[in-house]
Amino acid sequence: MQVQDIVHLMGGRTVFDRPVKTALDLSRGLGEGVNVSALDHVASHVYADPTARRGLMLRVVPEGTLKRRLRDGRLTAVESERTARLANIITKAEYVWRDRQDAKIWLTTPHPELDNRPPIEAAVDEFGARLVEEILEAILHGMPA
């Protein structure tokens, strides 16, 4: 995990209340909750289409809650962690594919090992994210995608 890549993908220092340089800094920042714009940054990194982007955001934070978060400006610790989990998966996919567009295509295409769910959708929960990481590791080591 490259902490700076995750922080950058989430929107940089503006979404955290403190500088984030280490994994411990990231963990502390997530525990305090991050600016709600982090979720939009992450979803926008994968989806250009506003409907698809909102769909991913609603997988992280339910609609009624998202409206409150947008008004209040902060995600909870749990929502912040989910957002960072997606950012981590995206940065790993970009590392494996070595190309942002190729990673985006892979992340949004249904995958047979994920019950035909797109990897980015599967990665919303902890167990799904671990499965996606295992698939990315296999690809990195020469297994078929």
Full domain range(s) for residue 133 = 3-140
pLDDT at residue 54 in the model: 95
Token pair for residue 16? 């955290």
In a domain, 50, yes or no: yes
Rounded Cα distance, 8 and 82, in Å:
16
Amino acid at residue number 93 = A
In a domain, 117, yes or no: yes
How many domains does the chain fold into? 1
In a domain, 106, yes or no: yes
Token pair for residue 8? 């950058």
In a domain, 43, yes or no: yes
Rounded Cα distance, 86 and 79, in Å:
11
- Three-state DSSP at 22 gives coil
pLDDT at residue 73 in the model: 92
Token pair for residue 78? 């749990």
Contact of 38 with 11, CB cutoff 8 Å:
yes
* Assessment of whether the complete model's pTM goes beyond 0.85: yes
Over residues 8-17, the pLDDT tens digits come to: 999 998 999 8
Rounded Cα distance, 97 and 104, in Å:
9
Over residues 81-139, the pLDDT tens digits come to: 999 999 999 999 999 999 999 999 999 999 999 999 999 999 999 999 999 999 999 99
In a domain, 96, yes or no: yes
In a domain, 11, yes or no: yes
In a domain, 145, yes or no: no
Token pair for residue 105? 């295509």
Rounded Cα distance, 11 and 6, in Å:
9
Amino acid at residue number 49 = D
